């Protein structure tokens, strides 16, 4: 939704209902992910209406994953109960930090105590809780970051995502940096913070399985693994990006225009691209290398009829020689290409060379 435009919510729900009618009956899926903002901002009645729309369109497999994104503030007992009653079995909470000053810098309205209390409370109803943490925040000290990560390990969470702060054009962070109000953290500080997260989380059984993600055994995010394995997925709502039949498309991001279009039964697309086989293969490398297990080489070649090495022989050799990439064998003798521990710190550089 759009901040301070709650007046759009009822029309947004009607527009979404129209878009979901494109689906032929009820479709069985093994994961559902509701995010792209704060969907739990909806009032309880609106939240039930939304969940009923999803339930009438998709049927989750018996062991499927149903994730909702939420912020610690505003996630009331009533809303948690509604989510649970509709089969939501995983919550992704935007905690970001347990340092009050860092939260203020990130323009967050919850306190560290709010975050801790919310995690403990919701875990009683929906035990699979994931939290997001942000490093590389201007003024965030190494000790502050380590304390935040340690606090996370004391809570009943099954999954932790750690992200470096980005300054995207058009955001308040970008504008504040341009005015000199914020100064980006030095790259060596970000590197040290990332390394600290890997050490602390792995030591307590939250094992890294993707560049930004750590999970206890059996709690890797099934939905995100769809993206990283370059599989197909549906998407609905303003700005939603889907990948179906080799076509990548994105809905219009302007909420008001998207609502107006779908109230009149008219789709609103912003981007549409038919990917060639080579493009799909290169994208699969980009996504696959994000995972610690890497890319299974023979499976990749069968899928795309080309080898990883043939797509980018120079990049393959250079990064292998620099020990940013390595090959490894599974217990079954399958060969994988993956980033080394050092390679994870330079993942964007390595991956770009394959595109």
The pLDDT tens digits of the residues spanning 148-171 come to: 999 999 999 999 999 999 887 777
For residues 116, 121, 122, 128, the Cα torsion angle rounded to the nearest 10 degrees is 70
With tokens 């909470």, the residue in question is 93
Residue 174 pLDDT level (bands cut at 50, 70, 90): confident
135, β-bridge pairs: 164
Nearest by Cα to 53 from 79, 30, 34, 81: 34
Residue 185 has a pLDDT of 84
CB-hemisphere CA count at 13 Å for 221? 30
Strands 325-329 and 58-70: unpaired
By the 10 Å C-beta count (0-12 exposed, 13-18 middle, 19+ buried), 333 is classed as exposed
The structural domains of the chain, ordered by start, are 24-228 (3.30.750.200), 293-352 (no CATH)
Whole-prediction pTM value?
A: 0.93
Summarize pLDDT for 124-153 with one digit per residue, the tens: 999 999 999 999 999 899 999 999 999 999
Strand ranges for the chain from DSSP E? 27-34, 58-70, 90-96, 129-135, 159-164, 207-210, 213-215, 241-244, 247-251, 269-274, 295-296, 325-329, 335-339
Residue 3 has a pLDDT of 55
Contact (CB, 8 A) for 347 and 339: yes
Share of the chain above pLDDT 70, in %: 99
Contact (CB, 8 A) for 185 and 173: no
**Distance between CA 42 and CA 48 in Å, rounded?**
9
Nearest by Cα to 236 from 30, 35, 26: 35
pLDDT, greater one: 174 or 337? 337
Residue 2 has a pLDDT of 53
């Amino acid at each position: 939704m759009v901040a301070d435009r709650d007046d759009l919510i009822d029309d947004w729900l009607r527009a979404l209902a129209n878009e979901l009618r494109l689906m032929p009956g009820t479709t069985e899926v093994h994961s559902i992910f509701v995010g792209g903002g704060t969907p739990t901002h909806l009032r309880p009645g609106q939240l039930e209406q939304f969940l009923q729309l999803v339930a009438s369109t998709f049927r989750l497999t018996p062991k499927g994953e149903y994730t909702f994104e939420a912020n610690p503030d505003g996630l009331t007992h009533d809303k948690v109960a509604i989510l649970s009653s509709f089969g939501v079995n995983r919550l992704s909470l935007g905690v970001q930090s347990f340092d009050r000053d860092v939260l203020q810098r990130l323009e967050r309205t919850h306190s560290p105590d709010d975050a801790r209390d919310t995690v403990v409370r919701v875990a009683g109803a929906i035990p699979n809780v994931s939290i997001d943490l942000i490093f590389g925040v201007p003024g965030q000290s190494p000790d502050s970051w380590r304390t935040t990560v340690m606090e996370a390990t004391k809570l009943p969470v099954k999954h932790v995502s750690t992200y470096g702060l980005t300054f995207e054009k058009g955001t308040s962070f970008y504008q504040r940096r341009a005015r000199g109000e914020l100064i980006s953290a030095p790259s060596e500080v970000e590197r040290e913070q990332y390394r600290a997260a890997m050490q602390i989380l792995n030591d307590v059984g939250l094992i890294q399985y993707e560049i930004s993600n750590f999970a206890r055994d059996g709690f890797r995010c099934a939905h995100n693994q769809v993206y990283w394995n370059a599989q197909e997925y549906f998407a609905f709502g303003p700005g939603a990006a889907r990948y179906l039949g080799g076509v990548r498309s994105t809905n219009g991001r302007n909420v008001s225009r998207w609502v107006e279009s779908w109230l009149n039964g008219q789709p609103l697309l912003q981007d549409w691209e038919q990917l060639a086989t080579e493009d799909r293969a290169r994208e699969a490398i980009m996504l696959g290398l994000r995972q610690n297990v890497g890319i299974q080489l023979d499976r990749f070649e069968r899928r795309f009829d080309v080898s990883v090495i043939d797509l980018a022989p120079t990049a393959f050799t250079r990064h292998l020689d620099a020990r940013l990439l390595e090959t490894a064998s599974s217990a079954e003798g399958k060969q994988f290409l993956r980033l080394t521990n050092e390679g994870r710190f330079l993942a964007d550089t390595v991956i770009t060379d394959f595109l």
